[in-house]
Structure 1
Amino acid sequence: MRKHLGRPESRTVVVWAVLTAVICGLFSAAFATWAAWHTARPLPDATETTALVAEVLPGYEINEVDPGAALFTFYSQPLRPRNLKAMLFLDGGEYQQGATVATVKTAPRAVQHEMVALAQGRLRETGWRVLPPHVEPELTCRAGGGCTPTGGPSNVSLVARRDDTALDIHWLANPSIDGTHLTVAVYRATPPAVLPAGIGGGLVGALLGGLVFAWASRRTRPPHPATNGVTALYAITMLFWWTPVLLAAPNLLGHHRDEPHPVWHPLWEWLGQPALSLFFVVGAGSALVALALATVPRRDADPLATATPEFAQ
């Protein structure tokens, strides 16, 4: 393998080839899944959401329904070209899955845990797969110390899924300023096309990434004039591409363990995208410059030195 990569003397070139193929496969799989996500049905409108809330939460009076603007939104609005600068400069985390949100101001006269239990029962009766509720106690924090639970009501989230629709019912520990007791967010589940698209896109990206690395490695072996420059640029690319993955994946894994998710976060968020998309752009730029340098003609030995004696004479 080292000989095929043009570096028979190197002990690490195979490792770098694998790392390159893996990261290229992950990025191409993320793009493929993003494209496949758009096969999902549009978000429910206000009428559908109102009917859904009435079905799963009878007795609750809806105050307002805010229809989702798009399947994925940036600050609750569809992503537009003018948003790209904000996304690049550490604001990309606001690119999130869209949802239609209903707010409820009038709730049945019951204690919180009874309302949660009634909602769980109603969801199961109407064919929803209900995950365990997630409880966040209200905390009191002191200036010089830690935070302790108040002992009062808690913020409770109940998530469920039915077919291609998921919902998140969120009870507030205390009504908000406008009197909202709870919110119901309705969004789409992962479309069936996402998994095969991710696998296929990942395999193609890994194959192409490995082939390009092999070509550049063979092309820039010494005495190529840009060997050192290409090596430095390649190191920059790997640093800027792998750092977001190593930062985002463990944090998102902990988040999934702490809270129930009827729909997992999309693949690109596990790669730190687009929250750290500036890292990806810088790495892609250094990779393109490195490939351009790899096309510089090699500086091999003088052809006269290897000529036949008859030609030399």
Structure 2
Amino acid sequence: MTGPLARRYRRLLFAYPRAYRRSRGDELLGALLDAAPPGRTRPTAREAANLIRHGLRARLGRPASRTVVAWAVLTAVISGVFSAAFATRAAWETARPLPRTAEARAMLAEILPGQEFTGIQDAPAMFVIYGQPLSWNAARDLLFGDGGEYARSGIGGGVDAPTPSPQETVELVQHNLRAHGWTVYALTTRDIYTCDAPCDPAGQYTTIAAQRGDTVFTMQVYTPQVPISPHISASFVRATPFAVYPSGLIGGIVGAVVAFLLFGWASRRTEGRHPARAVVKMLLGVTLFFWWVPTLFSVQWMARHYQDEPDPSWPPMWEWLGQPTFSLLFLIGCASALLGLALAALPRRDREPLTTAAV
């Protein structure tokens, strides 16, 4: 009972609730040791998986259920990633303010001298929706289809006059960026189409991306035949601050643990003859549907989009979860989860009623 195999079995038994370990832990450990062949010093992978699975079932109050662990894991994972997204948004507040107009003009003069960039204005905030900082006035846009307009802000401008030689412009910009200490990434070239049906491209544009410190620079250079103005556009944005990564990790772990504990509490509360047992299970399904389906769709869409248009700075985490584009669905899931927890708090029918002693 004190050898290395016994110690490792005891660690796995921590998956069971404390009360279960106190009442039956030694009995279960003895059975495991009796079944182990001589000379074994470690539990097999199958034994470890079975102990953890059955321990979580018991901890969730449903030792006979075959699916409760899967539901708990789905709830914990999706809650963890949403908590991580909220934590990363808070960590973005540590980013330096965007360059002001004068600084942006000076950097553009170094990158592409001899060109007059127009439309340069100070950014009102780090993140904007339709060019304005987020406010309660934008709630309708966020909830009803326009949440995708909430994005990182930047500062930049364009050159209205067509450039006669886009290739020379691209080469000059790359040379000047490297000369001023920028890290230049691989070029991407895309066709421009002006019709819905399959047709010949009207021209092309080339995207130049570079980074220096916490500043990310992008420039699009269009061929002269493209019916667009300006034919050169450039912008500066802030790279993801370092604080985003530890904040996302810590926020995700905390959110997953809290969700798992709440799930376990609700599962134990609704075990047996609970008046809202069926409703709570239905609300759990509603919550997971409105949280998981948009997330899975968004992750696939963002992966394809990022592959087609690589960016030196990854999109914020909440965009990978479809937020705030699907914020209305997320809020419906939150309301369903809160209602389920409230109903789980109702007293169970199998409890003995309290009696008042006669005086």
TM-score higher than 0.5 here?
A: yes
Name which structure has the greater RCO, CA cutoff 8 Å, separation 6+: 1
- The answer to whether 1:119 aligns with 2:173 is yes
Match of 1:19 among 74, 87, 106: 74
Paired residues of 1:68 and 1:101 also in contact (CA < 8 A): no
Shift of 1:139: 2.9
CA contact 2:164–2:224 (8 Å) conserved in 1: no
Aligned length: 299
Deviation, structure 1 residue 198 = 0.5
The change in CA–CA distance for 1:157 and 1:221 in structure 2 (over 3 A counts) is same
d(CA) in 1 for partners of 2:315, 2:338: 30
Which one of the candidate residues 263, 273, 287 is aligned to 1:237? 287
State the Cα distance separating 1:177 from its structure 2 match: 7.8
1:223 is paired with a residue whose SS is: coil
Q: Describe how 1:79-94 pairs up with structure 2 within 5 A.
A: 79-94=134-149
| Aligned positions of 1:97-246 closer than 5 A | 97-106=152-161, 110-139=164-193, 141=195, 146-150=198-202, 153-174=203-224, 180-246=230-296
Q: For residue 93 of structure 2, what is the aligned residue in structure 1?
A: 38
> In 2, are the aligned partners of 1:62 and 1:106 still within 8 Å (CA)?
no
CA distance 1:124–1:218, change in 2 (3 Å): same
Establish whether residue 28 from structure 1 lines up as the match of residue 83 from structure 2.
yes
Q: Aligned pair in 2 of structure 1 residues 105, 302: CA closer, same or farther (>3 Å)? A: closer
Q: Which amino acid aligns with 1:200?
A: I
Structure 2 CA distance for aligned equivalents of residues 55 and 275 of structure 1: 37
- The whole-number CA distance in structure 2 between the counterparts of 1:197 and 1:269 is 17
Q: Deviations over 1:154-211 (max 9, x none)?
A: 1221111110000111123348889522111111000111001001111111110110
User: Gapped runs of 5+ residues in structure 2?
Assistant: 1-55, 355-359
Residue 39 (structure 2) aligns with: none
Q: Deviations over 1:22-69 (max 9, x none)?
A: 111111110110000011111111101000101111222223312221
Contact 2:166–2:222, Cα closer than 8 Å, also in 1: no
Find the partner of 1:9 among 64, 74, 82. Answer: 64
Q: Supply the AA of the counterpart residue of 1:103.
A: G
| Cα distance, 1:223–1:127 mapped onto 2, change above 3 Å | same
Moved more, 18-27 or 61-70: 61-70
Tell me, yes or no, if the aligned pair for 1:131 and 1:260 is still in contact at 8 Å.
no
- Is residue 299 of structure 1 aligned with residue 349 of structure 2? yes
CA RMSD between the two structures: 2.0
Give the conservation status (yes or no) of the 8 Å contact 1:140–1:149: yes
The equivalent residue for 1:310 is none
Structure of greater Rg: 2
Larger strand proportion of the pair: 1
Q: 2: distance between equivalents of 1:110 and 1:202?
A: 51
Q: For the residues of structure 1 that align with 2:305 and 2:68, how far apart are their CA atoms?
A: 35
The alignment-based identity, stated in percent, is 46
Q: Which runs of 5+ in 1 are unaligned?
A: 305-313
Superposition map of 1:233-312 within 5 A: 233-300=283-350
Q: Report if aligned partners of 1:61, 1:106 keep a CA contact under 8 Å in 2.
A: no
Deviation of 1:244 (Å): 1.4
CA–CA distance in structure 2, aligned partners of residues 177 and 141 of structure 1: 12
Say if 2:113 is the partner of 1:65: no
Aligned residues of 2:273 and 2:348 also touching (Cα < 8 A): yes
For normalisation by structure 2, the TM-score amounts to 0.79
User: Which letter maps to 1:215?
Assistant: W
Contact 1:132–1:260 (CA under 8 A) maintained in structure 2: no
